[in-house]
Amino acid sequence: MADSLILELADFVHQVHTGIYSEETGQPQPLQFTVQVRLAVEDHYDPDTPLEASKNYMDLKFACSDALGTTHYKLIEAVADHVAETLFLQDARVEQVSVKIVKLALSEADEKIGITLTRNRR
């Protein structure tokens, strides 16, 4: 089995313009993101291995916040796709991105309603 390195951002909440119903449009709503990025792995990581041998974890947060801008996304699938594409464009070592989005505004009893999109580098 091949080695792998997975970076993760879990349960990050950000306000995003998304939705198709009148009560959803015109104002952002809270989305909860969990993002996993599989990177090409180095042969070995020593105690003094520099950051360039991995990926800055803040890049994952940026892809779920500032990179989305103020664009209105009808579907959260489009939000997830934008996050994945942003991460692929940032770093050629990214092999796979998985984006889980939960629409917190839909929750009535702490259930988690949302999607998970997984894309491989093409």
Q: Where are the domains of the chain?
A: 5-120
- Here the tokens at position 93 are 């070592």
DSSP β-bridge partners for residue 73: 18
Q: Kindly indicate the confidence band of residue 23, based on its pLDDT and cuts at 50, 70 and 90.
A: confident
* Cβ-count burial 58-70 (b if 16+ within 10 Å, e if not): ebbbbbbbebbee
Asked whether the predicted pLDDT for residue 1 surpasses 80, the reply is no
Give the alpha-carbon dihedral of 67, 68, 69, 72, to 10 degrees.
Answer: 170
Give the tens place of pLDDT for each residue, 93-116.
999 999 999 999 877 888 889 999
Predicted model pTM: 0.92
Sequence-ordered list of residues with C-beta below 8 angstroms from that of 94, at least 6 positions apart, any chain: 37, 38, 39, 55, 87, 88, 121
Task: State whether CATH 3.30.1130.10 applies to domain 5-120.
Answer: yes
Asked whether the predicted pLDDT for residue 13 surpasses 90, the reply is yes
Asked whether the predicted pLDDT for residue 25 surpasses 90, the reply is no
